[in-house]
Structure 1
């Protein structure tokens, strides 16, 4: 079913439009009501001889309380505003909480001649299997934000019935489930000037470090000349992860084509004014199985959903989205 009333979000009057809602939430709005999360980091060795860093929140939880696992977005981490806000939700509700970092996103370059990508469902599967093995008494819930949500939904579609052996329910938040539509949107106009530059400022230096680690991996001069994510993915992300080019990567890594194969309770939340994810590209009921619920409120931006607070509403907070998504997940235990 498709509706916005599962999360009847209303943007503050002083934040009209997707870009202000996105930027205010990321840069200014309050992230937590309780104390800031404190983390314990573990390093997991991957089957291919690399590593993944996992941050677990140190707040108290019962030994049999559910574990909420969050998969972050492009160039995100446990410090991202949404990761902190979900940590606050988990602490308030007595849940255990963990943020596994995609390779290269924990502050230290990974070892292998690969990084991470939007359709990395094999990595999601390995991570969730390990969480399940290490926490046999805890029911598992998973949420993925933006890129992490596409990868999580892709995993659920690929796994079908088997996903129920790992998790009780999953959610994606502001995920570009049609990667080509999202990739085109972020490469145009204001998005290109602001968001593309922000991502490239982080991704290009890491790619160059990767080239120092593994000489000959890609063409250095061509990468330095890349001006958008399409060109970056063509030179780096696609070939390093087994795709022919950007078009092949965006087509084969998108979760939208496999939403009909999902058999575990799954929520897809997308604001219809998300600057990265065109409303026309969002899935409708005809694109999903009966296990998938679609929340598509008209406002919210990209992982924004800021809410007014106090007499003047400034700076507001971003806890409403984790509350709505988290409570939906808890309802499926």
Structure 2
């Protein structure tokens, strides 16, 4: 059998993710040969402009998907928060690995070493982020902070955060942990202060639609719970965002019954979603929690929760908050 070829971006974090998929596949399928091929995407090449200025669809995925459709690779591995809600014709999302920590993390430079929360960020402190979602939620908690555009891979952003142009930065906790850089985390930001991007912390596998060989191989390493939650989060993204990289967060997760409940007590699916104005002054939220009978019901229930959240957000004025984003762009 020919080797299975995985396509990925070439950053350290992207390679970690691709190798995690490769290792899981090798462990599940004895004798399977897996190769990893790297490619540079538009989002990797163009680092001197905000993402919104170079487009908002497929900046970190298009070149990989072109290789996939041309048959040069058998599957692509993505950070799910970078994967557009609408995939190109001929491509399909075929699985996800178990999700890591979804939270965002505050990283402090030498002039902000005492900060242990967003509230501790001093007035005028420049906090690096390329994400409109992070910037808006930072301002909602601390209006005296100064979100400042920042691009680059994890190492680049950490270096910038320690330099003269920033006092700190906000990055995904999962990426820092995967690269063994958790010692750089000054604070893990609670979800009730900063709702993650749809799919944050999840690694996804994309293949050619109808490729039964790849699907059967990936089936052995898929995490259905992660997929149920992330697919529903992406439903919210598709309905409200539609490709504009907006100040929008959505997070769905399983929760156990309350402490002290019987061991066989029912579990729950919980949802938090928010759409914000760019300055964080306006926010529409949806918070929902429903009993979940079992994993077999989780996918449908998560989508039902997503639809209910969409209706609540729209009723609360989310469309009006997103309109400036549609005109100007911005990154999640």
More strand by share: 2
Q: Could you state the TM-score of these two structures normalised by the residue count of structure 2?
A: 0.31
Relative contact order higher in (CA < 8 Å, ≥ 6 apart): 1
Q: Could you state the TM-score of these two structures normalised by the residue count of structure 1?
A: 0.31
